[in-house]
Structure 1
């Protein structure tokens, strides 16, 4: 019984009675509940009546009961009854396999949030299989053989040479059973303490790096919140949440900050899969790279897929932002290993690159050292126009085609000729492709020929001659063998087919399964069923001859003389994209659409949706001129109804695929274009690369900022420094060289007959002596490069073609070095201009004598003769010629000089048409009209990224 009646309730500031006493009488006054029933009977009666009540009635009844309860009782109900129902930790209740299945539906950002919740969730969120699945769901591909090989080498080396299995086991047991201890510095009466590793050294804490999967030290005394903001966890969250073409949603939220609380997890408690062996006394140092994690179940080191995902994302960011470093083959320190003439074809993998040139040789390069691994392969009597190789020991093959109409098979490991297919075609062999079954060649003679690579028996695919491809086995009961067994076996590299149908030279072929795709100068692309030698479909779309083609089974990508790159739907033959940014023939193209696991079905649904939107706009009258709209060309993937040029394709406009697809094309306009899709799916030119600029950057990166010491010089009476002539110079030439002055940085200069005669005499004397002599004289007298036309004329007079090529290569190298020197001078001039004061500008009108002292006073940095001054600036000058002293006057004079002397060549080399390119996950490499192979590496010099990139496959 209540001690107070409702009328006698105490007037106090606090009461445990309900806050709404007006509602407390509702239940009491409800006659249906209280009439003729004792309080003990009400719960049983309610249990019988509850199933008949609606949700709203049950809610009202629950609130009526709660309003009658004290606040403390309600708090106990919430904590002990409601919270366990609302917040269920499924990790503790469900098997691990089911938990991983649930987490498999999350995107990478959500998984990172999950990992930061608690210890148990972290162990699941870093599961290798989860991140491996996410990796492939982005449309990326890995190289399983490289991963398995690296893991095998790692474990074999550690177990055999560093640590025994017993020691790993003992450490594993100790790691699992490690005790936590409370630091003596932490007050014992404070429940909000941090759990510190008992084995951690005093003076620092251990912080987890979710980004790299390793542990970072943190000093004692640093607040938890500040340390949290400085860890790479936040960096990783920012990286994963960056604006990107990834299909996952970009989160606009900031990374949640972990609050300090009871039992705060430490690095060791968070990372049971990475043994801290290197921190244990007495054990050898094991790999500290975040690339590796330790699997306690298998007791092996394995590659972390989370780390691979992070590095792959970083690599794609470099592609998007155009961050790369350049390199070239041959290595700048070994230019003599390069080709002597232009390079028509190349192919590379992670370890090797093979190139074919007009000098009739093939060269095999080591991709890491950029050096030749063996002498050039010689065997063709004409230019090497095409090649393909496979360095796998099971294949060990190079196939090359030449303008001499021969196809040669080389042994990759030794360079010896395995077989020569003499006169495989009547004219030049323009392309070769092979797989494990067949070798396909195409030629200027308008034909495509097929050769078997393995012995063919009757009934095998491609045997031909009317034999059924399905073997028939009949019991002969001792009589004659089956007619099939009486047919001969075709030895390897027998021509088993000749496809005819093109009206012009067949420039390129591709093999995909049982189909061959060919591109010809007759503007047609054909798809052939090679076992039956039947043309299945002819694609029309280009206005001029087609130079290159690629086929992946769903799309055909081609480049043509109409300066366009087109994408065709294989199934319907419709053009789904036309990319136009080149100004000349598109000579080479490679595409990777990054198909996702569900791309086939998704692309069909998107294509159908685009068609429906088009017809809806057409019927509603939004497309006023439908006929002219259908004739509209150059749709680069737009899905707007007004841009649609064809409907009914199985691919959406642009070709479909994943978010990381790209197309790279090279042209005779000397450019390489990287095409990427924008958010609307339209292909656009993301970056434009130039072979000449890449060569200059590669040489500059190799040479660094160091300058070579100038050669010995003789001093003229006027104080000018003139390089001494080379020792190999003729006496007559040595007598003529002092008649002019070599000025390091001439801004205003006059080309006089005296200096011109001196330089032309040197050119005529040194060019016939060969490449070595020309290289020496160009290093000593870089001003000679201004007479580029006279040098080329002297080279053209040489009778030996190889000597001409070597001489041109020497000149090209000197021009590149001059370009580097010119860039340095421009930077110095810009710095000097910014530092020039008003009095200095006033003194610009006062003429001064040219000399080294004036050049130094103006703030210019003198470049060494080894690098050579830029051709546009290194002009012969007489002793009496005045020179501007201030930087501003020098710049003005330079512009005036370029107007007065347009015949002076710049540092750029001759036009370099791009002949062939290839790209993979991290690089683009191209060959061109020059004798130098240039590459762009999007790892951008990051050693961690280079380490992980070895496991990345090309986006296809």
Structure 2
């Protein structure tokens, strides 16, 4: 088969050779009767126009052209213009073939992604340019997304390891497997199929993608003032492009003319070399990577990355996720013993701080402890921040003991301890490369330097804190006395911000600005270098618990159950989000700003103000009406509550992918999204205890031998949970108080997973089944947190009360048994003392005291004075009251009843802290269990690509 036949049979090629933008065929072809016969019909000059119309097709081409030029020369310009306009469809030219690639890419850059996919389907030459790497990278950033550049660069380096070994391997096997053409294409530049250089673009790879120089430059994220791109509908961009094939040879009649300008690789010649599968250096095939022929190496495939990000955002929109928890369900002994107040995570680690006075560093992939718990605080760990970058390698924590501790993140070593950093509990810590900022219940914000500071540096030097002018050293008789003063060591207090009248619950640092929120209902913006307050915002009706600051917006959550958005430049409120029915304790926002968002947001704000003033002048809006409902982002004049802001209602930014996630004492997490009008609405509600239960059930449902149910059958016979198991002991009002004492002699210890699986089985069966299980398997009492969550899922309040009574009776029996054992040990010790005294070798022996429950540590969580005046919601305690002290899932201390199950109206689900990134949300609450939602939803392709996705901010 000839090369031309192969090209014409290719599904990607057009059904016939392209016409180079115009056709040689006439618009209305007529039958050729012969010129001589047509001339015989011409009798007089007056018949000439009609004769020409009827017999123009019979004239020779040269005569037609001459006659047309004569006629056109006699026409006015307007008539010629009409003729050109009518002929324009026939004069269409393929700009891709005749314009430089830079201009072609500039044209294609004006298209939205869906239209660009249609361009890919057009023809091979259009496909080659439409798959340009820099073009899709620009489209990725124009959606408001960001990428983790360091991760891309490091993964590209790893993927290309052993590439030379691969080429050498192909050299060795070419004689036996016939890869000569591929090797020649890879190692020789003499072949025409490999020379794919294009002016200003480097070389096109197998997918038409190049990583070489591009008209868009190395950093598409820095583009500004570009036209907005809109995407209509969801489309699998990879699937649509895969149907079109890859770049190949030109199929037009002008191939020989264009060969000097464009040279394309065939799919075979552009494939990278692959090691045999058994080789440890073998590279798994993945569409995440594309072959860059210009540099003979793999590069990231930005078109595939764009498609994966769209798929991930679709999962966010449709609430498709899988749940997980810390600790891993199979290793509950690694978890905290009490509630978790604070957390932070990155791509590889999660750090949590708890009321049990410890911090734990988790491997976020395995959900196991990365190292033993960090011990150093004498009170609850209320706040923390870490930076795992080797250049920083820092973890800073604040506690209710009023101390701040600086740790080396990689080892857990204490580097520095700021003793009595505040007079009361430290509620928040934030740091950047220059300073550490802390806030406290003592109503003060303090600033500490992170680098040594010389006295003549008013705020630091170029490499330390803040660049300032320097005095030139005098070499005469005037010594520079400031140089003789001592240098301030790191973590010395260099500033103090006073102004709040209540506890400062949260702070944010960005550049020279510090934003603080307090129980006094105000938000303050400070210039920390000058130690002055630049803006005070009376933000809420009650105390403020949390804040988020991105430089343009301030987002806060309060005891008035609202999430509010403020313009940071003017302090005006641009949105109020109402969806919680209790204190909003934590919030994180991502507005998905586009490269041109700031200019468009200011223009949109002016437009909304103009419409509002026009409506006021026409009497459609009463500006003095204070009863208007809260505006969640609507731009209608009747909903506008403030004018003059730099941001439009709702906060601006990209409407498609922006999100706000808030957590509350009402035990819910809300994901807020904007509708088509830009109004923030609750898109999804999440509950921490449900996520933990699903994660544990999912782990328990694994097939054998990992299935704990099967393992339970190997340990001992399962207790009967059917109707026959209902013993006649309990009455209708509740189970019998005479619970059997757990700890039978034939009971065997159970693994944590088996214990939780047993709890899942016996709790739904009723109080009698749980009573029997506690008698046969006393180890399950140690998993009281999971037992508590399982009991609270029961729909009947009576059944829940019966189950709680059974657990309380079992715990009381354990405590009584331990106390009796300690008394017998004490009696034996006294007997031994008496015997030893009579023998003349009396040595004082101390009798161990009876174990008593330990009082909970002093609570130092968010202090919001105004919350005390708030009437608690139905079924909820007061927001300002400290969360109840309860034990975590782990080892029970002898003699301490740590398995107390709180009342159902005080379930441990108040959300304390949450954080989200591109793929997941993780939150902590009153329970020792940390829960998460992964929106990759178990998709291996998304999980592979998600490491390159940065958080929407």
TM-score (norm. length: structure 2): 0.69
Could you say if the C-alpha distance between residues 166 and 607 of structure 1 is closer, same or farther in structure 2, counting changes exceeding 3 Å? Answer: farther
The answer on 1:290 being equivalent to 2:287 is yes
Residue aligned with 2:495, SS: strand
Could you say if the C-alpha distance between residues 58 and 654 of structure 1 is closer, same or farther in structure 2, counting changes exceeding 3 Å? Answer: closer
1:277 aligns with: 273
Residue aligned with 2:325, SS: strand
Distance 1:469 1:269 in 2: 53
Could you say if the C-alpha distance between residues 93 and 39 of structure 1 is closer, same or farther in structure 2, counting changes exceeding 3 Å? Answer: closer
Question: Given the alignment, which residue of 405, 409, 412 partners 1:412?
Answer: 409
Contact 1:141 1:955 survives alignment (8 Å): yes
1:752 aligns with: 730
1:698 aligns with: 695
The answer on 1:813 being equivalent to 2:818 is no
After TM superposition, give the deviation of residue 153 of structure 1 in Å: 1.1
Could you report, residue by residue, the CA deviation over 1:281-318 in whole angstroms, capped at 9, with x for unpaired residues?
99995431000111111111101000110000000000
After TM superposition, give the deviation of residue 97 of structure 1 in Å: 2.4
After TM superposition, give the deviation of residue 612 of structure 1 in Å: 1.0
The answer on 1:359 being equivalent to 2:356 is yes
Residue aligned with 2:331, SS: helix
Contact 1:783 1:875 survives alignment (8 Å): no
Distance 2:49 2:73 in 1: 30
Could you report, residue by residue, the CA deviation over 1:365-387 in whole angstroms, capped at 9, with x for unpaired residues?
00111110111111100000000
The answer on 1:590 being equivalent to 2:593 is no
Distance 2:409 2:541 in 1: 40
Distance 1:555 1:347 in 2: 22
1:309 aligns with: 306
Distance 1:702 1:615 in 2: 59
Residue aligned with 1:539, SS: strand
Could you report, residue by residue, the CA deviation over 1:92-116 in whole angstroms, capped at 9, with x for unpaired residues?
3233223222222222112212222
2:888 aligns with: none
The answer on 1:528 being equivalent to 2:526 is yes
Residue aligned with 2:602, SS: helix
Question: Given the alignment, which residue of 761, 779, 792 partners 2:739?
Answer: 761
Question: Structure 1: which 5+ runs fail to align?
Answer: 11-16, 27-37, 64-77, 181-207, 214-245, 715-720, 725-741, 796-805, 824-868, 877-903
Could you say if the C-alpha distance between residues 288 and 176 of structure 1 is closer, same or farther in structure 2, counting changes exceeding 3 Å? Answer: farther
The answer on 1:506 being equivalent to 2:504 is yes
2:577 aligns with: 579
Residue aligned with 1:488, SS: coil
Distance 1:410 1:376 in 2: 13
Question: Given the alignment, which residue of 327, 330, 333 partners 1:336?
Answer: 333
The answer on 1:457 being equivalent to 2:471 is no
Contact 2:700 2:753 survives alignment (8 Å): no
Residue aligned with 1:587, SS: strand
1:893 aligns with: none
The answer on 1:386 being equivalent to 2:345 is no
The answer on 1:101 being equivalent to 2:124 is no
Contact 1:425 1:443 survives alignment (8 Å): yes
2:92 aligns with: 87
Contact 1:589 1:664 survives alignment (8 Å): yes
Distance 2:684 2:268 in 1: 44
Range with greater deviation from structure 2 (423-432 or 631-640): 631-640
Question: Given the alignment, which residue of 587, 598, 601 partners 1:600?
Answer: 598
Contact 1:818 1:871 survives alignment (8 Å): no
1:112 aligns with: 117
Could you say if the C-alpha distance between residues 906 and 710 of structure 1 is closer, same or farther in structure 2, counting changes exceeding 3 Å? Answer: farther
Could you say if the C-alpha distance between residues 486 and 39 of structure 1 is closer, same or farther in structure 2, counting changes exceeding 3 Å? Answer: closer
After TM superposition, give the deviation of residue 810 of structure 1 in Å: 1.1
Residue aligned with 2:571, SS: coil
The answer on 1:250 being equivalent to 2:232 is yes
After TM superposition, give the deviation of residue 617 of structure 1 in Å: 1.6
Could you say if the C-alpha distance between residues 705 and 872 of structure 1 is closer, same or farther in structure 2, counting changes exceeding 3 Å? Answer: farther
Could you report, residue by residue, the CA deviation over 1:780-829 in whole angstroms, capped at 9, with x for unpaired residues?
7875899999x99xx9xxxxxxxxxx998612223556789x89xxxxxx
Distance 1:60 1:743 in 2: 91
The answer on 1:650 being equivalent to 2:646 is yes
After TM superposition, give the deviation of residue 129 of structure 1 in Å: 0.3
Q: How does 1:624-773 map to 2 (within 5 A)?
A: 625-628=622-625, 631-658=627-654, 659-704=656-701, 706=703, 708-709=709-710, 743-745=721-723, 752=730, 760-762=738-740
Contact 1:273 1:296 survives alignment (8 Å): no
Residue aligned with 2:420, SS: coil
The answer on 1:953 being equivalent to 2:950 is yes
1:543 aligns with: 541
Question: Given the alignment, which residue of 551, 554, 563 partners 2:552?
Answer: 554
Residue aligned with 1:702, SS: helix
Distance 1:163 1:39 in 2: 65
Range with greater deviation from structure 2 (108-117 or 123-132): 108-117
Residue aligned with 2:105, SS: helix
Distance 1:61 1:671 in 2: 67
2:213 aligns with: none
After TM superposition, give the deviation of residue 678 of structure 1 in Å: 0.4
1:72 aligns with: none
Contact 2:936 2:942 survives alignment (8 Å): yes
Distance 2:608 2:188 in 1: 61
Distance 1:96 1:305 in 2: 19
Distance 1:417 1:532 in 2: 31
Distance 1:158 1:759 in 2: 72
Residue aligned with 1:277, SS: coil
Distance 1:870 1:787 in 2: 9
2:260 aligns with: none
Distance 2:902 2:337 in 1: 23
1:141 aligns with: 146
Distance 1:4 1:306 in 2: 63
Contact 1:442 1:449 survives alignment (8 Å): yes
Distance 1:57 1:777 in 2: 91
Contact 1:176 1:272 survives alignment (8 Å): no
The answer on 1:423 being equivalent to 2:392 is no
1:440 aligns with: 437
Question: Given the alignment, which residue of 513, 516, 521 partners 1:515?
Answer: 513
Could you report, residue by residue, the CA deviation over 1:438-476 in whole angstroms, capped at 9, with x for unpaired residues?
001000000001000011224535259xx9973333352
Question: Given the alignment, which residue of 610, 613, 622 partners 2:611?
Answer: 613
Distance 2:802 2:41 in 1: 108
Distance 1:905 1:19 in 2: 104
Could you report, residue by residue, the CA deviation over 1:303-349 in whole angstroms, capped at 9, with x for unpaired residues?
10001100000000000000000000000110000000000000000
Residue aligned with 2:372, SS: coil
The answer on 1:370 being equivalent to 2:393 is no
1:170 aligns with: 184
Contact 1:139 1:597 survives alignment (8 Å): yes
Contact 1:786 1:871 survives alignment (8 Å): no
Distance 1:253 1:490 in 2: 59
Residue aligned with 2:936, SS: coil
Distance 2:724 2:714 in 1: 18
Tell me the matched-pair count. 744
After TM superposition, give the deviation of residue 713 of structure 1 in Å: 12
Distance 2:614 2:635 in 1: 13
After TM superposition, give the deviation of residue 156 of structure 1 in Å: 2.2
Residue aligned with 1:320, SS: helix
Distance 2:41 2:912 in 1: 102
Contact 1:743 1:875 survives alignment (8 Å): no
Question: Structure 2: which 5+ runs fail to align?
Answer: 1-33, 57-62, 173-181, 195-204, 211-227, 253-263, 807-900
Contact 1:273 1:295 survives alignment (8 Å): no
1:195 aligns with: none
1:567 aligns with: 565
Distance 2:650 2:391 in 1: 38
Contact 2:358 2:373 survives alignment (8 Å): yes
Distance 1:468 1:747 in 2: 73
